[in-house]
Amino acid sequence: MKKNISLYVSGLFTLAALFSACKKNAPDQFLKDNITIIGKVPVIATFTVAPPQTTNVASGTPVKLDLRYWSDDEINLINLRATVGTGAQALVSTTPYKKAYSSVSRTDSLLLSYPVPSGLATGTSIAMEVEVVNKNTLTKKLVLTLKVQ
């Protein structure tokens, strides 16, 4: 009987020693060892046509576009591209970042101008794409569609 109890106790100590010897890694240790943090992505709050204009535009007239955005990391530049109808996308403008904080919207604001090409048929759609590029190379894009009247 003493022998059985001592075998039982020694077996428990052996199991306890085995379980305590196993080192567990943190669940996210693999991620910590295998990723590099670049930074944060910029945020586009709104991208609209500045009032009193609407998304219905006349051929050959300029359109003011209102961009509201921010980023926790430094912003490098803002690109504006246009795709007229089924044509190829074209770069309209590249604007270097200038701080323009609006306390009303709590964002940076930028007014961009786009000259609508003349001679477009009624109903032609123009896809305006804005891209905010951070200095860490992370970007955010948003598309606004205009319709020629």
Which pLDDT score, from 0 to 100, does residue 62 have?
96
Contact by Cβ (8 Å): 94, 51: no
Which pLDDT belongs to residue 22? 57
DSSP character at residue 10: H
Mean pLDDT of 3-11: 78
Query: Residue 69's Cα: distance from chain center in Å?
Result: 11
Residue scoring higher pLDDT (7 or 101): 101
| pTM score, whole prediction | 0.75
Rounded CA-CA distance 130/95 in Å is 11
pLDDT above 80: residue 97: yes
Choose among 76, 68, 88, 83: nearest CA to 114: 83
